A and B are shown apart, each in its own frame.
Chain A
Amino acid sequence: MNLKTVVKTLFIFGTMTVLAACTTKHGINGANGVNGAAGGSGAQTSGLSEGQNFGDGSGGMGTGSGQGNLLAQRTYHFAFDRSDVQESDRPAVLANADYLVAHPNVKIIIEGNTDPRGSREYNIALGERRAQAVLALMETRGVNRDQVRLVSYGDERPAVPNGYTEDDYQQDRRAVIVPQQMG
């Protein structure tokens, strides 16, 4: 395969990937209700369809509808300059942890995000602390560390782009569990 073909193929592949992201974006965002315009991009491409399986699978596991709802809660918000998981989010985090323990082939990414104020790289560090806090709570249930990867986007992917109100900032400060392909 010569260079031209490779580039052409990759471009077509890339376009398809982006298109795939467009069409499936709705699924994952529907699942956690937040993220709207901020998510979407190719950043979530590979895991999107499996993400729906992840949610649906919980029902199939017979973990009960109540727990299924908790499983679907995969966005957790944080107070200003804080990285501790709020009490109200603990049951959902733990439900997702239990699911991972029961499904050792499932892998997730925990994304950490901040509001847009302050220094970008410092916010990257804050975002990782938020993702880390979710992971630490999951580990109390015996989640295998190899099933989880952390990525911090800092303020690069706000939940409310170009939103500059306190309410917008509150939506921005979040950690999100993003299911990946089955191992």
Chain B
Amino acid sequence: MRSRLRQLGLFFFGFFLLFPLCAHALLSMELTRGVSGAIPIAVAPFVQQGATPPTAISAVVGNDLKNSGRFTVYSDAGVLPTQAPAWYHSNLGADAVVKGKVDNLGDGHYRVSFSLSDTYQHDKRAMLAKTYDNVSAASLRMLAHHISDLVYQQLTGVRGVFSTHLAYIVVERPANAPARYSLQVSDEDGYNPHALLVSPDPIMSPSWSPDGRRIAYVSFEHQRAAIYVQDVVTGRRHLVSAFPGINGAPAFSPDGRQLALVLSKQTGAPNIYLLNLASGHLRQLTHDWSINTEPAFSPEGKSIMFTSNRAGSPQVYQLNLASGAISRVTYSGNYNARPSFTHDGKHIVVLNQTSGYFNIGILNLDTGAFRVLTASSKTDNASPSVAPNGSMVLYGTVHDNRNMLAMVSTDGGIELLLPIASGDVQDPAWSPWKS
């Protein structure tokens, strides 16, 4: 058994190696709704010393800030001078300006500096100024996202998520050929997609470890559902659950040591279990004949939200891990499922059907206030996944008769579509901040 699994692993690893890595973006980003009263900011093209670097840092920063929906960005390289006095940007309407410099050190390395200043403060002191030495060409894009994070945090008070990653499933269905499923990970803006697994069988439910280094997922290789945990960097994976029947909905505990998952053992009654990843010990958490699935840990790890149809239609319940007590949490509408907590533990985001379409909703756990975030959507949505700073929800939607990803802010004010050129993209998971 073990050697067979090893062979399988090699088999898929072989596929992975032979799959050409895409150099650019699989997904693009279109801001479809931004906040009114967004912060006006100018991002000047960075001054270049020496040969042109492979990544235009100012363009990446400008895009990041624009796509956050919280900024109105003046960044057109053809219009903005690289160096201009503050009044120039102020006259444009910008409250703040990002300026920077890229020195080519030769040997494919760069020194990058940037500053963030207020355009109507006359004391010339930058709010933020940093220099990064010896940055490799390949890291320039990552550095640009890091700069976006710092600017975002300085001006909004919230830590940015531009350096995080997205995991999702791409399905291609070529004519007269089998479908091809792949588990992909890309930067938060859709760039640098990498396939972690390519398979002729479905792949679903990717779930990040809290340190952002591993992904648990369900794969149906050889017509069996099984849960694997794969190292994102090395591509090595381990089979962690392959019971008869459903092996589904993996979710890491906040300490990364346990995996909540769903097993049915072919009874038609899926229940939630806790798997200790080191010892392999399995503890059953729910014990009934209804559907119990989609476990999600609270940020402090003391309780689990999950979906159950114990009262007839699917609703979200909370399980206290210490006492085992279960209480119902959602009451708005006839379908609430796939819960996930915001980072502060005060809200859960759910898939909700009140009438007609399936929407993304958010429930305030303190007040009980429920709000549909995708109310203007004229299609079915699924698979909400919350950004680590709680600002946005990534989810699956249907656009032009294909599955695509979209984002909506947790206040409902900002919406983005992440189109893919061909095929379907679905079942997304937003990574945590890497630790």
Contact = CB atoms under 8 A, between A and B. Distances in A.
Interface of A: 3, 6-8, 10-11, 13-14, 18, 21-22, 25, 37-38, 40-44, 46, 83, 109, 111, 116-122, 124-126, 128-129, 132-133, 149-154, 156-157, 161-162, 164, 178
B359 to A, nearest CB: 12
A83 B309 CA distance: 14
B266 A124 contact: no
A116 B204 contact: no
A42 B293 contact: no
Contact of B220 (A119, A132, A156): A156
Given A18-B200, A122-B307, 4 more contacts: A11-B11, A109-B223, A118-B351, A156-B220
Contacts of A126: 291
Interface of B: 7, 10-11, 13-15, 17-18, 171, 173, 176-179, 199-202, 204-205, 220, 222-225, 244-246, 248-249, 262, 264, 266-268, 270, 291, 293-294, 307, 309, 314, 335, 337-338, 351, 353, 358, 380, 382-383, 398, 401-403, 424, 427
Nearest to A112: B268
Contacts of B294: 119, 121-122
Contacts of B177: 22
Given A119-B294, A164-B401, A151 B223 contact: yes
A121 B204 CA distance: 9
A145 B220 CA distance: 22
B264 A119 contact: no
B340 to A, nearest CB: 12
Contact of A119 (B246, B270, B382, B424): B382
Q: Classify the interface of chain B: helix, strand, loop or mixed.
A: mixed
Nearest to A110: B266
Contacts of B309: 122
Contacts of B424: 161-162
18 contacts: A3-B10, A11-B11, A13-B11, A14-B15, A25-B178, A41-B178, A41-B200, A42-B201, A119-B351, A120-B204, A121-B248, A121-B294, A122-B314, A122-B337, A126-B291, A129-B268, A149-B244, A178-B223
A21 B293 contact: no
B223 A44 contact: yes
Contacts of B205: 120-121
Contacts of B337: 118-119, 122
A109 B223 CA distance: 9
Contact of A42 (B178, B314, B358): B178
Given A6-B10, A125-B270, A132-B268, A117 B220 contact: no
B380 A117 contact: yes
B246 A122 contact: no
A114 B100 CA distance: 53
Contact of B200 (A7, A42, A119, A151): A42
A150 B245 contact: yes
A151 B296 CA distance: 24
Contacts of A111: 223
B358 A117 contact: yes
Contacts of A43: 200-202, 220, 222-223
A125 B246 contact: yes
| In the A-B complex, the 9 residue pairs with the closest CB atoms | A42-B200, A132-B268, A156-B202, A119-B337, A41-B178, A41-B200, A10-B11, A125-B291, A121-B249
B222 to A, nearest CB: 8
A146 B222 CA distance: 18
A157 B202 contact: yes
A21 B178 contact: yes
B14 A22 contact: no
A152 B204 CA distance: 12
Contact of A124 (B13, B199, B246): B246
A165 B116 CA distance: 51
Contact of A118 (B202, B222, B266, B335): B335
Given A11-B15, A21-B178, A43-B201, A132 B267 contact: yes
Contacts of A117: 358, 380
Contacts of A157: 179, 202
A118 B398 CA distance: 12
Contact of B264 (A13, A18, A42, A128): A128
Contacts of A14: 11, 14-15
B200 A124 contact: no
Nearest to B169: A156
Contacts of A132: 266-268
Contacts of A83: 268
Contact of B338 (A116, A122, A125, A178): A122
A174 to B, nearest CB: 16
- Residue from the set B7, B171, B199, B248 with the largest chain A CB neighbour count within 10 Å: B248
A118 B382 contact: yes
B314 A7 contact: no
- Residue from the set A25, A44, A122, A149 with the largest chain B CB neighbour count within 10 Å: A122
B13 A7 contact: yes
Contact of B178 (A13, A18, A116, A161): A18
A69 to B, nearest CB: 26
Given A14-B14, A121-B205, A124-B246, A161 B268 contact: no
B166 to A, nearest CB: 17
A109 B201 CA distance: 15
B317 to A, nearest CB: 13
Contacts of B262: 121, 125
